[in-house]
């Protein structure tokens, strides 16, 4: 899974937390309203993302993420910042 | 001190980890597979798997630890299934106690609840006041009483019981007690019961737990509360603080129970989180004034004033964008 693009990795993580099938998950989907992740599950998702990609994500930043695309952008930002 | 914190990623747990780190300790932080560990990663804390339903994980996590802080006692989000709630809470605590005994832990600090404190006629309740049997005031009260009884009956290791009141302060990510503060700051008018609550700064609770771990001969059971006031009184003060309309009159006890039961039934059927939960109603309407003098005498605790606690909770909630960035009028508070 670690060789997959970031988008696919996040989609797989979301699929572990919701009954939504990976093929149905789109970048513009809102974590809460469209995918049914409550605030606790959303934070679990971002925590899972940080652990799997070894990112140091401030909780303040994670709290501001509302869509799948924003989570992808956040991951890219942190990977770029550490020169990955 | 070689210490393990169970529930390290939670509200009290994070504050306890901060207190331990500030004291020069490097605690192990227990986590479940799906725990939110962002804040712990930022603290460079050592994370260890410690699912309370998996005895082998608990045993491995406790190996070599002299002290275990158990701040992960089962907290039922709904009071709908008494049998399952009791089974889960007691089985998980049993797993923790068995693992601690097996690992040779010297002292376990168990975080209980003021729900276990019985009323004392004519005076504030203190550490002597324990229900002789399950209080029968709701699932939450009965669960906490049963769990505390199990913890106090433990004779293989030393177990110390701490009963914190309504914790307020930073890092309440799941919006437990802080939900009222956030609701008022957003200009909402949450339906609420009324009764005595015992607010306490979560950072002071963390300090008290640390002192219980370090104390040569700590009290077996200690209440942690900074004061006593009525919930409606706190909501009125918060409304003044945020410059919003004062809260509506409190619900009568029966009204509050009925509303919470209906909200929990809706939540169980797949709706959003209940706007009023049964355990909060039960805690408030059956709340009793507390005398936390033992914590002051035995542990040297000096409680932060409520205004300082509310300032800290407010600052954290703003950083987390839980309440809007706008000025508020600070007025006199209890």
For the question of an ipTM over 0.95, the answer is: no
The answer to the question of residue B80 being in a domain is yes
**pLDDT for B269:** 87
Instruction: Check if B271 contacts A (Cβ < 8 Å).
Output: no
pLDDT at A2 > cutoff 60: no
DSSP B130: B
The answer to the question of residue B127 being in a domain is yes
Which chain B positions have a beta carbon within 8 Å of A57's beta carbon?
38, 41
pLDDT tens by residue, A15-44: 888 888 899 999 999 998 889 888 888 899
Q: Do A43 and B173 touch (CB under 8 A)?
A: yes
Distance CA B73, CA B92 (A): 8
Instruction: Check if B273 contacts A (Cβ < 8 Å).
Output: yes
**pLDDT for B327:** 46
B191 phi, psi to nearest 5 deg? -65, 135
Residue of A nearest to B38 (CA): A47
Which chain A positions have a beta carbon within 8 Å of B173's beta carbon?
43, 59
Distance CA B326, CA B321 (A): 11
The answer to the question of residue B309 being in a domain is no
Query: How near does any CA of chain A get to the CA of B334, in Å?
Result: 30
| Tokens linked to B11 | 């509200």
Q: What is the CB neighbour count within 10 angstroms for residue A23? A: 8
Rg over CA atoms, chain A = 12
Instruction: Check if B315 contacts A (Cβ < 8 Å).
Output: no
Instruction: Check if B46 contacts A (Cβ < 8 Å).
Output: no
Q: Are A49 and A55 in contact (CB under 8 A)?
A: yes
Higher local confidence (pLDDT), A5 or B288: B288
Rg over CA atoms, chain B = 19
Residue of B nearest to A54 (CA): B41
| Tokens linked to B188 | 């909402």
Q: Which of B38, B272, B273 lies nearest to residue A57, judging by beta carbons?
A: B38
CATH number of the domain that residue B124 is part of: 3.40.50.720
Count of structural domains, chain B = 1
Instruction: Check if B33 contacts A (Cβ < 8 Å).
Output: no
Distance CA B56, CA B59 (A): 5
Q: What percent of chain A has pLDDT over 90?
A: 43
Instruction: Check if B35 contacts A (Cβ < 8 Å).
Output: yes
Q: Do A59 and B41 touch (CB under 8 A)?
A: no
List residues of A whose CB lies inside 8 A of any B CB.
Answer: 17, 38-40, 43-44, 46-48, 50-51, 56-60, 62-64
The answer to the question of residue B9 being in a domain is yes
pTM of the model: 0.92
The answer to the question of residue B192 being in a domain is no
Residue of A nearest to B316 (CA): A60
The answer to the question of residue B104 being in a domain is yes
**pLDDT (tens place) for every residue of chain B, 334 residues total:** 799 999 999 999 999 999 999 999 999 999 998 889 999 999 999 999 999 999 999 999 999 999 999 999 998 888 778 899 999 999 999 999 999 999 999 999 999 999 999 999 999 999 999 999 999 999 999 999 999 999 999 999 999 999 999 999 999 987 878 888 888 888 889 899 999 999 999 999 999 999 999 999 999 999 999 999 999 999 999 999 999 999 999 999 999 999 999 998 998 887 678 888 999 999 999 999 999 999 999 999 999 999 999 999 999 999 888 887 664 545 445 5
The answer to the question of residue B262 being in a domain is no
Distance CA B124, CA B109 (A): 24
How far is CA B16 from each of CA B13, B113, B114, B272, B299, rounded to the nearest angstrom? 5, 16, 19, 30, 16
- For residue B205, the enclosing domain spans 3-171+199-228+290-304
**pLDDT for B78:** 83
The answer to the question of residue B64 being in a domain is yes
Active site residues of A: 38
């Amino acid at each position: 899974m670690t060789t997959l693009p970031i988008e696919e990795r996040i989609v797989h993580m979301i699929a572990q937390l919701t009954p939504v099938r990976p093929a149905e998950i789109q970048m513009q989907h809102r974590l809460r309203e469209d995918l049914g992740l409550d605030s606790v599950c959303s934070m679990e998702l971002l925590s899972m993302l940080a652990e799997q990609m070894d990112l140091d994500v401030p909780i303040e930043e994670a709290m501001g993420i509302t869509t799948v695309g924003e989570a992808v952008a956040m991951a890219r930002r942190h990977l770029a910042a550490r020169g990955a | 001190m070689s210490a393990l914190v169970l529930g390290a990623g939670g509200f009290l747990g994070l504050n306890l980890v901060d207190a331990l780190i500030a004291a020069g300790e490097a605690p192990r932080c227990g986590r479940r597979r799906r725990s939110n560990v962002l804040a712990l990663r930022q603290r460079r804390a050592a994370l260890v798997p410690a699912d309370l339903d998996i005895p082998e994980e608990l045993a491995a996590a406790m190996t070599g630890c002299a002290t275990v802080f158990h701040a992960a006692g089962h907290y039922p989000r709904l009071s709908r299934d008494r049998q399952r709630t009791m089974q889960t809470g007691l089985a998980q605590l049993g797993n923790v106690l068995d693992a601690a005994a097996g690992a040779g832990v010297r002292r376990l600090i168990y975080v209980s609840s003021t729900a276990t404190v019985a009323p004392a006629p004519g005076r504030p309740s203190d550490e002597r006041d324990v229900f002789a049997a399950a209080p029968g005031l709701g699932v939450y009260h009965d669960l906490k009483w049963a769990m505390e009884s199990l913890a106090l009956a433990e004779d293989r290791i030393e177990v110390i019981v701490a009963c914190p009141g309504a914790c307020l302060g930073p890092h309440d990510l799941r919006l437990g007690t802080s939900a009222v503060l956030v609701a008022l700051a957003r200009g909402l008018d949450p339906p609420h019961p009324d009764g005595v609550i015992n607010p306490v700064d979560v950072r002071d609770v963390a300090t008290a737990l640390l002192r219980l771990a370090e104390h040569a001969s700590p009290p077996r059971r200690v209440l942690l509360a900074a004061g006593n006031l009525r919930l409606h009184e706190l909501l009125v003060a918060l409304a003044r603080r945020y410059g919003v309309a004062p809260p509506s009159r409190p619900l009568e006890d029966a009204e509050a129970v009925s509303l919470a039961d209906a909200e929990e039934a809706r939540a169980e059927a797949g709706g959003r989180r209940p706007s009023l939960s049964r355990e909060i109603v039960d805690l408030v309407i059956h709340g009793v004034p507390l005398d936390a003098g033992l914590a002051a005498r035995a542990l040297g605790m000096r409680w932060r004033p409520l205004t300082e606690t509310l300032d800290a909770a407010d600052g954290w909630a703003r950083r987390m964008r839980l309440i809007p960035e706008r000025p508020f009028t600070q007025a006199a508070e209890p």
